[in-house]
Structure 1
Amino acid sequence: MWLKLVILALLLAILISLFSGLLFLVKDTDGQSRLVTALSVRIGLTVAVMLLIAYGFWSGQFTWNTPWLH
């Protein structure tokens, strides 16, 4: 259960980073360092989510519930 909550929190952080990047794109006219930082944070969070999902399948906490696999 804790794994699902961590993934959900990371997805929320990705959304916050996405909209902050949009804000930096619209507001900043002089430099793009904050926009690049927001993109870097978003990429790092996405990699973390993918690794946690892979760990969930590897550890058996996540399973496939599709009818065609059973």
Structure 2
Amino acid sequence: MLKILIVVLLFAIIISLFSGLVFLVKDDGKSTRTVNALTVRVTLSVLLLALLVYAVLSGQLPINPSPIR
């Protein structure tokens, strides 16, 4: 469940990135939709980072400290 939420947040960040690009190209600086898309993207990124930290600290997302040689 946690990994699915991580993937959903990643896709939401990508969608927000491209919507911001579309707003930047089409609006010609006449609206705040680009700023709103940036705000959404930053908020989603902070949520993703917090979720990753929680997943690692709770042991639900294992890390590999030393690769097998």
Residues 1:39 and 2:23 aligned together: no
Residue in 2 that maps onto 1:64: 63
State the TM-score, normalized to the length of structure 1: 0.88
Partner of 1:13: 12
Q: What is the number of residues matched between the two proteins?
A: 68
What is the CA-CA distance between 1:66 and the residue it aligns to? 4.2
2:51 counterpart residue number: 52
1:64 is displaced (CA, Å) by 1.5
- Identify if the C-alpha distance between structure 1 residues 65 and 30 changes in structure 2 by more than 3 Å, giving closer, same or farther: closer
CA offset digits 1:9-52 (Å, max 9, x no partner): 00000000000000000000252400000000000000000000
Identity %: 49
Q: What is the rounded CA distance, in whole Å, between the counterparts of 1:57 and 1:29 in structure 2?
A: 42
What amino acid is aligned across from residue 28 of structure 1 in structure 2?
D
Question: Which runs of 5 or more structure 1 residues have no equivalent in the other structure?
Answer: none
- What TM-score comes out, normalization by structure 2 length? 0.89
Distance apart, 1:67 and its partner CA: 2.9
Please list every run of 5 or more consecutive structure 2 residues that lacks an aligned counterpart in the other structure: none
